[in-house]
Structure 1
């Protein structure tokens, strides 16, 4: 074996789509700050009450590599996708598409025919994904949340989100 040469290999790994659980949270530190994981933990409490679905795409070992929620209370008659995240090393490998389609299936299973989301204007790659999946922009809104800075101080993050939606036919996939 020549150790000085670089080789590329492709490996196919099956992905399981399931509900995220509190036991998964320690393996999701890649998805954001500690404060964000607290928000995800609160979302799991809402999932237990049936207000949201929170999905995990997992490797055969059960490790989450993509997560995201669907909120059924944010917009009347629609499921709102939010907090979508893919393990950075696996971005642009199709996991975002699988996550969005799984979320849409959950929305359809509740008898709803519209999915909505907001994407930061500063995130053109995510917007391109949603457009490829059939989402159309219909407006924008300011958004803000608190984040913990590396020095431990609390800072306010402000952004503008482009509002997008997709009308789904029941047989659409």
Structure 2
């Protein structure tokens, strides 16, 4: 087996990226991301893209600074399914934590669905600790294009960050 090394960079996600992000969710989800990009424009959130040299996102995720005072809340983290378990999620989370620290905040939080043990294992490996659980729900696009309500239970996790850079 040959190892291939691909250089990745992290930058802000922009509207033009959404045409390449169908792997990250339905059209309904991506329409919601458009609203998050407007929130990024006014500084309420950061929305990141991880890209190889082609500059086409292979991972994306947001940090919301409005959910909890003194913390950045990571959400909508996604890595292209064909590239999972290659370290890209780790790079995305570490870049998000750097953005949080640059705002002078020393805590990162996230919610992970209880039926997603691989993601939870990643977050635990990166130093996140469970502190509560809560129900969550959102509208999801069905294959026929209709919307249905998705309900789940999430574990809430947090990480104390080192001093801001």
Whether these two folds match at TM > 0.5 is yes
Decide which of 87, 96, 104 is 1:94's aligned counterpart: 87
Distance in 2, matches of 1:29 and 1:61, equals 17
Q: Secondary structure, in 3 states, of the residue corresponding to 2:77?
A: strand
Decide which of 105, 108, 115 is 2:101's aligned counterpart: 108
Paired residues for 1:30-49 under 5 Å: 30-49=23-42
Distance in 1, matches of 2:104 and 2:164, equals 12
- TM (normalized to structure 1)? 0.93
Paired residues for 1:13-24 under 5 Å: 13-24=6-17
Per the TM alignment, residue 171 of structure 1 is displaced from its structure 2 partner at its CA by 6.6
Per the TM alignment, residue 41 of structure 1 is displaced from its structure 2 partner at its CA by 1.1
Q: Secondary structure, in 3 states, of the residue corresponding to 2:19?
A: helix
Q: Secondary structure, in 3 states, of the residue corresponding to 2:2?
A: coil
Per the TM alignment, residue 152 of structure 1 is displaced from its structure 2 partner at its CA by 2.0
Matched, 1:159 2:152: yes
Runs of 5+ in structure 1 lacking a partner? 1-7
- TM (normalized to structure 2)? 0.97
Deviations 1:11-65 (A, max 9, x none): 1110011000000000000001111111111110000010000000001010100
Per the TM alignment, residue 110 of structure 1 is displaced from its structure 2 partner at its CA by 0.1
Residues 134/169 of structure 1: CA separation in 2 closer, same or farther (3 Å cut):
same
Runs of 5+ in structure 2 lacking a partner? none
Counterpart of 1:76 in structure 2 is 69
Q: Kindly indicate whether structure 1 or structure 2 has the higher relative contact order, using CA contacts under 8 Å at least 6 residues apart.
A: 2
Structure 1 segments of 4 or more deviating over 6 A?
A: none
Q: What CA RMSD, in Å, does the superposition of the two structures yield over aligned residues? A: 1.1
Deviations 1:94-116 (A, max 9, x none): 00000000000000000000000
Name the larger-Rg structure: 1
